[in-house]
Amino acid sequence: MAMKCSICGREAVIYRKYEGKVLCRKHFLKSVRFKVSKTIRKYRMIKRHDRVVVGISGGKDSSLLLRLLWEKQKKQRHFQLEALLIDEGIKGYRDRTKKYAKQLCEELGIPYFEYSFKKTFGKTLDEMVRIEKKKYGYEVHACTYCGTLRRYLLNLGARELRASKLAIAHNLDDEAQAILANYIRGDLLRAVRMGYVPYFVEDEKFVVRIKPLRDIPEKETTLAAILLNLPFSLAECPYVVDAFRGDVRDMINMLEDKYPGIKYNIVRTFDKIQPALKSMIKPAGIKYCERCGEPTSQRICKTCMLLERVGKE
């Protein structure tokens, strides 16, 4: 027998085990919008006259984030909205996903900007991986290059677009996994930098990052993107082989299944202890990279160090 919405009795689209509620399309989407608005308000993520740049990829999370911020902006009109895509140069993947990102921006009338590894760093990610393998003879972890260089370029791009906020589409699962992965690895310095507004180190060269979807589980970002008919790609990056992160994800999902609400507990407990962590662990002060001038905690930033490795074939 079809499940009925706990609120109105219509046909349900989801059973939220962690709340013990069954919701129809209307009440599910209403609840997602409410949660996102609450997160934005609670952490004062968007202020009057902010210029918000959304990091988009053509995937479900960033498409949903862009759509929900667009709805908010249409109602409130006190902030500006633009979209920024980073093309890492992953053949057969990013070239496929980015057409969905462009399509959504066109549909919503949001200015679309694109920065690429090739243009900024002179090489695509595919080329960097190939050079690394040829020079050093072992299979390099593409995500190390990709993560570092993409963060660098998102910040640079957002700053060049004069953004006051950079909105990132991390969902509840991403947050819970990152928190637990940092604990397991013992990387407290990285843990201290996380949270609802990461990069607490204030610097004029850092664009403040906000994560309005951090209270929405991944299953629900997918369902909401489908129910809103958003154009998005389900393609998977060919380099996705991070076994450790995959193990952490599987472990959390297994626990969530047995003890619903675990993901929220991980994130909320972390939010409570983060102020204490911040007072205990002081990250190194901000310097500017001697090569590129971007903010870093070291003399040479990680991006420049990685680029040096693949400088010459």
Applying CB under 6 A, the residues found at the interface with ligand SF4 are: 142-143, 146-147, 237, 239-240
Q: At its nearest, how many Å lie between ligand SF4 and the CB of residue 120?
A: 16
Nearer to ligand SF4, 33 or 102 (CB): 102
In the structure encoding, which two tokens stand for residue 90, read together? 């992953």
Nearer to ligand SF4, 203 or 250 (CB): 250
CB 162 within 8 A of CB 237: no
Q: At its nearest, how many Å lie between ligand SF4 and the CB of residue 210?
A: 20
CA–CA distance, 227 with 8 (Å, rounded to integer): 18
Buried b (16+ CB within 10 A) or exposed e, 232-246: bbebebebeebeebe
Helix or strand or coil: residue 198?
Answer: coil
Nearer to ligand SF4, 124 or 274 (CB): 124
Look at residues 261, 253, 30, 46 and name the one whose alpha carbon lies nearest to residue 165. Answer: 46
Nearer to ligand SF4, 146 or 158 (CB): 146
Cα angle 304, 310, 290 (rounded to 5 degrees) comes to 15
Q: At its nearest, how many Å lie between ligand SF4 and the CB of residue 94?
A: 8
The phi, psi pair for 13, rounded to 5°, reads -115, -15
Q: At its nearest, how many Å lie between ligand SF4 and the CB of residue 125?
A: 6
CB 157 within 8 A of CB 168: no
CA–CA distance, 44 with 40 (Å, rounded to integer): 6
Q: At its nearest, how many Å lie between ligand SF4 and the CB of residue 61?
A: 12
Cα angle 173, 179, 182 (rounded to 5 degrees) comes to 135
Q: At its nearest, how many Å lie between ligand SF4 and the CB of residue 103?
A: 20
Nearer to ligand SF4, 68 or 90 (CB): 90
Nearer to ligand SF4, 241 or 254 (CB): 241
